[in-house]
Structures are given as C-alpha cells and as structure tokens.
Chains A and B, each alone.
Chain A
Amino acid sequence: MVSPEAKKLAEERAARMQAALDLKEPDRVPFTGLGGDVIPAYAGITSYEYEFDFEKNRQAAVKWFTDFPSDSAPRVGLGGLDNQSMGVAFQDYPEIVSGVNSVNGPMNDVLKMKFVRFPGRELDENSARQFIGGKNMEPEEYDQLIADPVKFCFEVIMPRISGGLKDLGSPASLATMARFGLEKARQDAEMAKTMQALMELGYYFAPRGVCLAPLDLISDQLRDIPNLILDLRRYPDKVKAAAEALVEPMVKMGTMSIKAGAKECFIPLHLNEYLSPKQYNEFYWPTLKEVILKLVEAGMKVQVFFEGWHDAHLETILELPAGWGTAYFEKTDVRKAKKLLQGHTCIMGGIDVSDIISLTPAQLDENIKKLFDEMAPGGGFIFSPNIGTCPRETPIENVRAVYEAVEKYGKY
C-alpha cells in the first residue's frame, strides 16, 4: 500500500520537476539522482544479476532509492539498449513496440540482437551493457528505405539484426515471437511490482515516449556512424530523402505512448557532435526539428539529450517554440547554454560522471555550490549527471557528497 506520506512525497517530487519544465523556480533544484552500475555494486550483486534477475534488480533499486532520494521518475527495471529499427518495423502494433524498442538482457536472449552486448553473456558479469552499432544496410538500399521505411525495417533489416528472426515466417521465427510474447507478459508483471515498491518509497512514475533523430536511426542502426559520415558526401540526396522518410515513423514512435498517459518524449542524439554546422543544418536538424515540432503539436514536452559537444549548434535550439521542453547536455557547459536559452528551454545536466569518479568529496561539494549559484536563479534547471551511468567503482563517499551538496545548496 502506498501511504499518504509517500503519496505526498511523490507529488512534491513531480511538482518540483514540473516547475522546472515550466521554466519556473521550484522549492528546490530538482535532482534526477545518480544511477547505473553503481546501483548493483552498492547492493552487493553483479551487474549480470541486476540486468537479468527482476527480484534482485528490485531489491537493489529499493536500497538505492531509499538511501539516495531524488526527484525524477526513477528509471528502474532491467536496462535496455536502443533497438528502434525493430520498433519501426512493428510501428502499427504498440504492444509489440514497447517490448522491442529497447531490448534488455532476458529479451535479448529471445531476440538475439546483433549489436548489443550484456554482462554475463558476451561480457564479464560485472561489465556494463553496451550498444556497439554496426552496418546492416548497403548504400544501394537507400531507395528501398526511402520508398517504405516500415516495410524496409521489417523485411530487410530485422532478419539481419535479430538472430531469432533471421528467417521470417520460419518455425524458428514464429517461436521467437511467441517466446517474445511470454517474456513481455512476465516482464510487465515484474515491472508492476517494481513500480509498486518504488511508489511506496514516495516515487512517481510517468510513462514517456522515446524516438530518435531520423538521421541517428540511419547511422546507429542501419549504416553505422563512419559509413553514414561518408554517405553524407557520397550520396547526399539519398541520405536527405531517407531522413525525411523517417520523420513520420519517428513521430509515430514518439507519440505512441500518449494513450498510456505519456506527456514527454525523450530523444537521445548521437551524430550531433560529429557534424559541422553546415552538415548539421543541411542533413540533421531539419528532420529532427520537424519531429520535435510535431511532438509539441501533439501536446508533448520533449527532452533532447545533446550528446558530446553541442556548442557549434546551440543556437538552433532557439528555432523551437519557447517552452518546448528540456535540453539535456553532456559536455556543453550548462552555464553557457543558460545564457542563451533562459526563459526558452529547461536546461538539464551540470555534473560530469568522470568528476564523480575522480574528484574528492570536498571538490564535488564546492563545484555543486558554484554551479547552483549560477544555474538556480530564474529556475528552468534540472540538476543531473551528464550521462546516465555511474560505474560500479564510483566511490560511495563521492555519491554521498553529491546528494548532500544538493540538499545543502539546492533551496530556492
């Protein structure tokens, strides 16, 4: 049972995040919390156990979120890796998409995806799950992708990337989909238990959509990054047309969860820091912008993770309507972003995970104090690590120092 106290705490946390999203000053600087492989390490279990065993995963999450409270809806359950080309293949079947769009360890045991690596499987039991990408499409196939991206992802790409579905229509592939359904039902029930446990601790859950920038879908899942970079020079018109063809599928992926109550869509960018402003503005931004605008039109806020250095493209964010959502930065200095985007965009980020690993508690305390002095005034700021994964070896005294500094300096 969720106690009235826990319910009140959850409401306060949600309100704190919402105020920042609405570009206002909340009661305190909202903090997403730290996470990643440090959670199983803190609970004394392997990363393999955390990625494959719901019961152990739940216990580890409860311990972590009890000892280290934070404000955003916690990302719990088994961690997944991006698998959006398969999501596109099944885009007319939302109940399938929610299981294939991001593939976790046990689901990968069923689907056998080519470009993911999990601890305790391909990797050491205490390694981190990793997406490695790869080339799954030849340049001669751009026309097929452009003509019908959904059909192309289903008929051509899926058999190449999923060991379980390599022979579409075969008994093996039908058995794979049947197993997928059983595993999905099992995971949905387990997830409900995990969410219940976290709600009892005063957390809330908010479903959200996920999609990619159209060009990232091509580079991450179809051509791989180096090949896509060369394609920009060798087949510029094809690449552009393919990105345009993927706008509608991406919007569909992003808005799919609105029926389940999603108010936000997350778009993690990858290729942004690879591109010159000329390439970004010609090949990447127009279709990404179109996707964001359509999600906003559909009533969603959008959170974009600007991976790497986004400095060269920062001003393009101003082309979006004020209040469109959240810009989450990895390497770009959030102070610099604030000068440009205050009153227009909610800014998220502020602490480098490498610093949390490498600095002393006193240094972290001082850095966070200085950061909040500059970033808190005026609101519209969510404090977060620059990437999601703190490794197993993250010193716990440093983790404590971060949470204590948020407590000390976060009040408005």
Chain B
Amino acid sequence: MREELLRSFVDMDEQEAVRIARELVETEGGAVAVLDTCKEAMEEVGRLFEAGEYFLSELIAAGDMFNQIMEFTLPKLQGEEVASLGTMVLGTVQGDVHNIGKDIFKVMAEASGINVIDIGIDVPHEKFVEAIKEHKPELVGMCCLITLGVDSMKRTIEVIKEAGLRDDIKIIIGGGRVSQAVMEHVGADAWADDAARGVRLSKELLGKE
C-alpha cells in the first residue's frame, strides 16, 4: 500500500493518493507510514522539478495533496515522536504582500522535516528579530516577489546583525528577484528562485545533506 501511495502521489493522481492514505492511516502504525511515504513522495516531486520534468504546477498540486492528507493523518500522530531537521523562521519581507512563493516553499520545507514558523507577509525587520529570539531557529528564510524586496532583505539582515543574532543563524533568501548577486548584496548565506532548490539548500545549511 505504501508503494501504491508513493506512486499515485508522485504521479499526481490526487483522488487515488488520498483514497489510499485514508485506508492506510487506519491500519496499525499506518499514520507514521502515511507521513513517511508522503514526505518521500514530496522529495521525489522536488527532485523531478529540479530535473526539469516537473513544473510549478506539480509543486502546487503536490503541496495541496500533502496538506489534504496531513489534515487527517496528523491528529493520529498525537504523542508520536516526529523527527525534525531543525527550525526555520519564514516570512515575506517588509513592503511585499505576496504569499504564493512562500506558501509553496513552506509546505515543501515542512514535508522535508523542517519545523517552519511562518511569520507572514510584509514582515517588519524587527519582527524577524523578535521571532528569532522567541523560536531560536537554526535557519531564517526571507522571501520577496517584487524588486523593493531586495533592499528590504538587506535591511532586515542588518537589523538582525545589530541585534547580535546574525552568527546564530543561517539565512536563505528566495523568490522571483533573488540571484547570486543579490545574495552577496544583501549578505545572506544561500539563495533559491524555486521552492525545490530552496528546500535542498535549506537542508544543506542545516547540515542534513
């Protein structure tokens, strides 16, 4: 059943994947099996995206399937120890009110085992600092879609530095406007203009791959 779930999920057969997951989750140890299989499927979808076989459309559809299945799987995992690769504070930087890219990344990052604290859109610089103090993440993810986001990321990182927190965290920037040049300009540690690359690099920054 796990094999069938994996195959239908990766093949984007939504109805079939949800049906199998619903069945599997009711069996002994099924919830853990569903979670692990869906994580594996999301990883495979990310790999196919990076190989150019899948597109954003598949990332969105996979993320939606993952969320649908988790909705009835996670309540059955209460009390189970779910391994986490680390914690990431994630937000779209001040001035930018877009969320699609952030949301696509978020579900893929969660599926990879990263504990994501989503602090929203148009996030003031100071709110990143507060969230770092509160959640003590290993990673901070900053997104932007529009060009003003570049300078906003730069200022956010400066404010994090001024608060003396820069050395405690790794910073990855993501979204339509980022590049190697932008990463160097703003002083981040990694950049990704798609969610699959973003998750892969986040795991690398966490020392997990």
Contacts and interface: CB of A to CB of B under 8 A. Distances in A.
Given A127-B148, A392-B148, A275 B57 contact: yes
Nearest to A117: B97
A188 interface: no
Considering residues A312, A353, A393, which has the most beta carbons from chain B within 10 angstroms of its beta carbon?
A393
Contacts of A355: 179, 181
Nearest to B63: A226
Interface in B81-123: 94-98, 100, 103, 122
Interface residue range, chain B:
20 to 34
Contacts of A389: 146-148
A279 B148 contact: no
A129 B52 CA distance: 33
Interface in A225-269: 225-226, 229-230, 232-234
A274 B56 contact: yes
Given A226-B64, A354-B177, A393-B148, A132 B97 contact: yes
Contacts of B176: 308
A144 interface: no
A229 B61 contact: yes
A259 to B, nearest CB: 35
A162 to B, nearest CB: 19
A129 B57 CA distance: 27
B147 A387 contact: yes
A172 interface: no
Contacts of A392: 148, 151
B96 A275 contact: no
B95 A124 contact: yes
Interface in A148-200: none
Given A229-B61, A230-B64, A391-B151, A358 B179 contact: yes
A30 to B, nearest CB: 23
A358 B185 contact: yes
B44 interface: no
A128 interface: yes
A123 B95 contact: yes
B60 A229 contact: yes
A276 B45 CA distance: 13
Nearest to A308: B176
Contact of B14 (A233, A308, A357): A233
A390 interface: yes
A329 B179 CA distance: 17
Given A127-B148, A229-B57, A232-B57, 18 more contacts: A37-B148, A124-B95, A128-B148, A226-B64, A226-B103, A229-B61, A273-B56, A276-B58, A279-B55, A279-B57, A354-B179, A357-B150, A357-B151, A358-B182, A359-B181, A390-B147, A391-B146, A391-B151
Interface of A: 36-37, 117, 122-124, 127-128, 130, 132, 225-226, 229-230, 232-234, 273-276, 279, 308, 312, 352-355, 357-359, 387, 389-393
| A-B pairs, 8 with minimum CB distance | A358-B185, A393-B151, A391-B148, A274-B56, A358-B181, A391-B147, A276-B55, A229-B60
